[in-house]
Structure 1
């Protein structure tokens, strides 16, 4: 093609190009269907036969070769080089909202011997016509950029008000609320999955990010990529997303640790622990494979060598036989097994003896109230100190902002911006610490009820037989390991502080003291 235009033959065939900027516009008055209807009416009035319609749902800015509908239209013209077509547009803004690409597209049609007609604009190949077309193309580009700027300003303002504006993170979904617009709310069951992942990583249940990924993959309904997998990048994006802790951060808009309007799934403390784990500055606590059959695994020790007893399951003719044993070579109890039910039954007798009298429970209640009052006084002092620290951080932020305004050095500005981000982070952490200092109203009664229920009868929880419940009893009732001797049974372990105090008050009468040596 030499770029010349055949002006001797008037075209009788037409193609229609329709474009909207988004899916939402397809159903409005300026949607694709209404554009096509008007263009067909225009073609009919001009006596053109419409050969094809090419729609696009894409922004008009930028390269027109990135629009699938326009690419298809040009390919259609290329496939029929001997035919002359009129390309019909509903509005000049549907042509191109970029001045340079507007005239490149005009040249592309000229090279294919196609003319262009618009319902509300007449193209003229004259200097005056080209001038007017240039002005209108530039106006379309100006409007597009102004609209983009306005949208960006509104998005930034909404984020500054604490509202997340991008795609909802996994574990959340959007809900429209009167007066607030679209707000993130927890999305079951994914919210509990995300919470479990964070808390599991922070506590050491998951020793690495790879284990978190495998946890996600173990859940069939968890979102996957097109290959049906949960990749490491998705896990990284989740574990580093401040929105889960209830904060808004945006590098694009320069926002750092703004308190969000939506409900957090985890605490900022948990989020910080996860970041420390990821960076290697914190180590996961040592994890024991306690299994699901042995309540004393990692708690019971050999009385001869003070080494934790191992747990095993032996298979015999009558079925499976669980037992504990010492596997320390050189120990006199090496290899000698102890039936699980025997040792756990004897420890249960110790637990059963930890039952204080009614008068001791009354005394304990008063002790709790006194301790709670002291804690409340301490909390007030901590709040006062925290407010002073918060005010100090805010003053530092104001100073850094003033320094940023006073300098033109890009390197210095970046350094100040990094410091500002750190201060905003400290401010968010200090604010959360303040919010957690004072207990909620009625919290004392609830916690006291649970504590007294356990202190009054720890045997009731042990008697359930659940391994995790029994391990909880051991953790709360005893202050250390339980030494066990095959010949002398379980030695009385070190009693935890609450029970020890009760024992001291009562003279130790309610403790199980005949089980073995102290």
Structure 2
């Protein structure tokens, strides 16, 4: 008499409703064994996904089959092939491994005699159908979650300070949870003030009853959800970006940005490679063999040193530094903006220039009054200290705050006075630098040359002895009318928000002008790419103004 192990698997309540319940499967399998006079050795129940064979009960079963030859069944029976596996490649591999043990796999509702070659076609259909169905379900879930995040809905487990709820209409959302929400507000405010270290503020919050690990604390103070933003991750051809969330924010955007600036200023300095004027592309070139970044060094010749970019990954690839510099300059010479983007750059230039220096020049009297009020506050604090109404710690805190404000205002005032005196010259020079990228690149020192490359590209330059290709960003391709290619190297410009040099506003009017212009020239462009173009122009303005 033949023997068999019954394998019964369910993964969702929906399968139970469709007749895939454990009881239903067992009844049909037992009836099949009774009809065909097969002895049942074991019944294995599984409630795990069939994407892989890394399932708890299946692993135990397979281990026992490997250990003992005496108790091996003739068959492993299941109701359908999708109960066995939803991954065709893994299924074929497992069938072969069981076959070497003289164990045959059978689906009683989809019977196949695999000894007949033509039946392998039907097996492929059964397995592929299950895999396609599983992949389609996963894709629908990912698309649904991505769409929900685009609408500003938070789809995961609520972060610290929030709680998940379900509204009357069935939609899920997050709302502030006390007392954690109040703790978080106070933590951000203290971090923004910059009086104490991050670790001190964390320890103080823990002592007061805030429950959070140190690792989660660091993630929390970097999370934009607390000022009302939802992170939409990169998906297909789209880049990662932020949208306004439907949830209630705990802090303002200004406070969040100030905290990020404090954290960045307090961060430990990273080890940096010494800048070499002869190796200005070091770390930006990509090895054509292993796709690692190339480093650089000098090799001593008979009369002088020769500089090379080379790979340290064992590829033994190297290329002359001077030849690469010439090729980069040749690529930059093709970057000639059209009249539309020249006028758009001029508009952005004036707006950014006025933001940094125009306001201070127009309100000099208000700035002087602000300085006077700050000194009055400091004198008042001295009087309160002498009368004993405040202690030394309070006085020094007020003094530090006043000194910080005075330094900021004084620096802003000095910069504005200097920039206003040379406003026309600076704007004209910036326009010239934008119009002649290659000349600008030649005139800049090595540090700013690298910044230009970072801004124009996705920080990758492909090179070998025969080919040379700079991967320009999509924004650069639109501005300088370069040929567009279908690639996955779309770059999202975030340097602006990271440096807090220009606020993250969506300039709808300028974006609409870009979309309209590109449409008239038969080039399709998404609003997000239009916004990236504006960000690029702003970044270039910042670069040339402060250079």
Q: TM-score, normalised by structure 2?
A: 0.49
Counterparts of 2:3 and 2:203, CA distance in 1:
63
Give me the CA root mean square deviation: 4.1
Per the TM alignment, residue 108 of structure 1 is displaced from its structure 2 partner at its CA by 2.1
Are 1:280 and 2:268 counterparts? no
Are 1:105 and 2:105 counterparts? no
Are 1:258 and 2:243 counterparts? yes
Task: Work out the number of aligned pairs and report it.
Answer: 309
Partner in structure 1 of residue 125 of structure 2: 135
Alpha-carbon spacing, 1:18–1:178, altered in 2? closer, same or farther (3 Å):
same
Are 1:214 and 2:203 counterparts? yes
Counterparts of 1:429 and 1:251, CA distance in 2:
19
Counterpart of 1:89 (choices 66, 71, 78) is: 78
Counterparts of 2:482 and 2:79, CA distance in 1:
48
Larger radius of gyration: 1
Alpha-carbon spacing, 1:215–1:25, altered in 2? closer, same or farther (3 Å):
farther
C-alpha contact 2:4 2:77 (8 A) present in aligned 1: no
Counterparts of 1:221 and 1:44, CA distance in 2:
63
C-alpha contact 1:247 1:258 (8 A) present in aligned 2: yes
Per the TM alignment, residue 104 of structure 1 is displaced from its structure 2 partner at its CA by 0.7
Partner in structure 1 of residue 6 of structure 2: 15
Structure 2 gaps of 5+ residues are 268-379, 394-472, 508-547
Per the TM alignment, residue 84 of structure 1 is displaced from its structure 2 partner at its CA by 3.7
Partner in structure 2 of residue 247 of structure 1: 229
Counterpart of 1:80 (choices 38, 45, 68) is: 68
Alpha-carbon spacing, 1:219–1:94, altered in 2? closer, same or farther (3 Å):
farther
Per the TM alignment, residue 174 of structure 1 is displaced from its structure 2 partner at its CA by 1.6
C-alpha contact 2:153 2:230 (8 A) present in aligned 1: yes
Structure 1 gaps of 5+ residues are 1-9, 224-229, 283-295, 312-396, 432-518
Per the TM alignment, residue 272 of structure 1 is displaced from its structure 2 partner at its CA by 1.1
Counterparts of 1:181 and 1:210, CA distance in 2:
38
Secondary structure of the corresponding residue to residue 143 of structure 2: helix
Secondary structure of the corresponding residue to residue 12 of structure 1: strand
Matches within 5 A, 1:162-311: 162-179=152-169, 181-204=171-194, 207-218=196-207, 222=211, 230-231=213-214, 233-253=215-235, 254-280=239-265, 300-302=384-386
Q: TM-score, normalised by structure 1?
A: 0.51
Counterparts of 1:52 and 1:80, CA distance in 2:
14
Q: Deviations over 1:485-514 (max 9, x none)?
A: xxxxxxxxxxxxxxxxxxxxxxxxxxxxxx
Per the TM alignment, residue 274 of structure 1 is displaced from its structure 2 partner at its CA by 1.5
Counterparts of 1:405 and 1:27, CA distance in 2:
57
Per the TM alignment, residue 280 of structure 1 is displaced from its structure 2 partner at its CA by 1.0
Counterpart of 1:60 (choices 16, 28, 50) is: 50
